[in-house]
């Protein structure tokens, strides 16, 4: 019988249980990636994610060929693909990792399970990163995650017998360029990280070999963190390397450390790995939060501001650290955690935008977009449990604290490259500002943030948004920054 290995966000050969279980049967295997229009189009996913997937699949194709097999790809809905396989080769068994994502992927998985069940076919699903599915998942997570992570890593098979392509219709192919026909929106990138299992392991190796030594100190630095952070996030998001491989190799590195500070750095990183998986557990338990507000109480304090969104989304707000962060993200697909929170807070609090559009826009830019991690951060920043936990950032203070010499700003906002350090985060105070090809601040950030706190406190205390419309005119007059009178 044929064994179909359905690849999703697990694009590797090493430590891949679905592949291992299929291989152990010693029967033909069909390793298959399905680009599903309902998952990719009109969603938060973008062309840069597909670009990363294609690079990963090309790397995977090379790995399968070295083992004597092939990797296959097609563009269609999963149920349609299963029907095609069933008509071409007859009964088969399906193997896949569980995908812990948005309601869209959750509903797709339910349909696939039902399709297989209706035809009396076996569908084996396996834990992906220690995340628990079903009732009592939060209670079981800690114990199950530890057991999962400590299980020995599965080596890649030494040879693989895959199905002959001639048996399959031409729509299921080994030609990865097929994905170029798949049209989705977003921005391509030239300077971001490339996908592939080999690159994932090289990145981990370079981090454990020495890049980690200032991991804790530089986490908040938008420029230094590009080197001192692990940069494994896109490889974990699309499964080029398994969480188990990363944790076990990190623990080995900790044991081999001679310096106590080096151990502290790696232990800090290791603790983030469990936190990473706990966030994925969160979206597994609360998939509705990819679409709905975590705390609707604060929603009436926000509105739609198209001009504000457009300037924010292009990095043209007039606040150098905000604009540098957005332009860096557009160019490279990566930002450190604090800069991500700052961009979200500035859009949803300071500019008072409804959270959904900025959140989905950022998801489309992050090459390492992982639904659980992304939407958990969105709701921690945008939908706190109470006013006491509201994250409001002053971009002037943020810039002065984390980019005091303006190196990050000058790298991504070249209009300001000749502005002195003392004015780099407040260029409108510089005598030569009007000769710069740069924007004035979109708001008076001090007044805007004070107004946000007042509005949100009012909404929280009243429990509704009845005073929203009455405050709109006054609020807008308060926050618009008049460059010529400040």
CA distances from 425 to 139, 330, 336 (A): 46, 21, 19
Helix (H) or strand (E) holding 72: strand 72-75
Binding site annotation covers 375? no
E strand map for 268-417: none
DSSP secondary structure letters along 35-60: E-HHHHTTSS--HHHHHHHHHHHHHH
Query: Distance between CA 269 and CA 294 in Å, rounded?
Result: 28
Helix (H) or strand (E) holding 29: strand 29-35
Assess contact for 236 and 201: CB atoms under 8 A: no
Edge-to-edge strand order for the sheet containing 72-75?
Answer: 72-75, 29-35, 2-7, 92-97, 123-126
CA distances from 4 to 37, 107, 301 (A): 20, 20, 50
Instruction: For residue 119, give the nearest of 155, 142, 77, 87 by alpha carbon.
Output: 87
Instruction: For residue 256, give the nearest of 266, 268, 245, 243 by alpha carbon.
Output: 266
Tokens representing 192 are 């971001």
Query: Distance between CA 7 and CA 57 in Å, rounded?
Result: 10
Calculate ∠ Cα 401-478-415, nearest 5°.
Answer: 45
The DSSP code for 346 is: I
The DSSP code for 303 is: B
Q: How many CB atoms lie within 10 A of CB 463?
A: 8
User: 443: which residues sit within 8 A by CB, 6+ positions away?
Assistant: 350, 351, 479, 480, 481
Calculate ∠ Cα 237-240-241, nearest 5°.
Answer: 95
The whole-angstrom distance between residue 368's C-alpha and the CA centroid of its chain comes to 4
Calculate ∠ Cα 208-211-212, nearest 5°.
Answer: 70
Binding site annotation covers 215? yes
Tokens representing 457 are 């406190």
Residues annotated within the binding site for FAD are 215, 269
Annotated binding site: 215, 269
């Amino acid at each position: 019988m044929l064994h179909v290995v359905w690849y999703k966000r697990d694009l590797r050969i090493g430590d891949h249980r679905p592949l291992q279980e299929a291989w152990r049967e010693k029967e033909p295997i069909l390793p298959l990636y399905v680009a599903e229009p309902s998952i990719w189009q009109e969603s938060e996913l973008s062309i840069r994610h597909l670009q990363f997937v294609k690079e990963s699949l090309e790397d995977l194709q090379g790995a399968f060929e070295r083992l004597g097999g092939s990797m296959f790809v097609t563009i269609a809905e999963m149920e349609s693909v299963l029907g095609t396989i069933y008509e071409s080769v007859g009964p088969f068994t399906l193997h896949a990792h569980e995908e812990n994502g948005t309601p869209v992927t959750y509903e797709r998985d339910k349909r696939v399970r039902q399709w297989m069940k209706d035809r009396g076919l076996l569908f084996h699903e396996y834990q992906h990163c220690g995340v628990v599915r079903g009732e009592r998942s939060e209670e079981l997570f800690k114990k199950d995650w530890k057991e999962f992570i400590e299980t020995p890593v599965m080596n890649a098979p030494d040879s693989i017998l895959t199905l002959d392509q001639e048996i399959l219709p031409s729509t299921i192919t080994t030609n990865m360029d097929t994905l170029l026909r798949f049209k989705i929106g977003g921005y391509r990138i030239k300077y971001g990280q490339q996908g592939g299992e080999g690159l994932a392991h090289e990145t981990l190796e370079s981090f454990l070999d020495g890049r980690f030594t200032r991991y804790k100190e530089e986490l908040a630095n938008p420029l230094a963190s590009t080197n001192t952070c692990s940069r494994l996030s896109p490889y974990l998001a699309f499964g080029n390397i398994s969480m188990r491989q990363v944790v076990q190799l990190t623990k080995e590195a900790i044991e081999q450390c001679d310096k106590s500070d080096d151990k502290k750095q790696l232990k800090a990183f290791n603790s983030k790995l469990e936190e990473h998986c706990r966030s994925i557990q969160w979206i597994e338990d609360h998939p509705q939060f990819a679409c709905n507000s975590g705390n609707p109480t604060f929603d009436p304090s926000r509105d739609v501001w198209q001009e504000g969104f457009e300037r924010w989304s292009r990095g043209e707000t007039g606040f150098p650290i905000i604009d540098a962060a957005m332009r860096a993200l557009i160019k490279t697909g990566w930002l450190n955690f604090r800069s991500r929170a700052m961009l979200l807070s500035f859009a949803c609090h300071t500019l008072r935008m409804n959270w959904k559009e900025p959140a989905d826009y950022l998801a489309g830019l992050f090459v390492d977009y992982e639904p659980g991690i992304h939407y958990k951060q969105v709701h921690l920043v945008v939908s706190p449990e109470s006013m006491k936990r509201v994250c409001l950032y002053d971009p002037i203070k943020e810039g002065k604290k984390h980019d005091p010499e303006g190196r990050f700003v000058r790298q991504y906002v070249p209009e300001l490259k000749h502005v002195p350090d003392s004015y780099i985060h407040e260029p409108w105070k510089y005598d030569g500002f009007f000769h710069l090809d740069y924007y004035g601040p979109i708001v008076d950030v001090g007044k805007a943030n004070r107004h946000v706190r007042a509005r949100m406190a009012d909404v929280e205390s009243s429990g509704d948004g009845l005073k929203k419309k009455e405050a709109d005119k006054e609020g807008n007059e308060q926050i618009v920054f008049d460059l010529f009178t400040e």
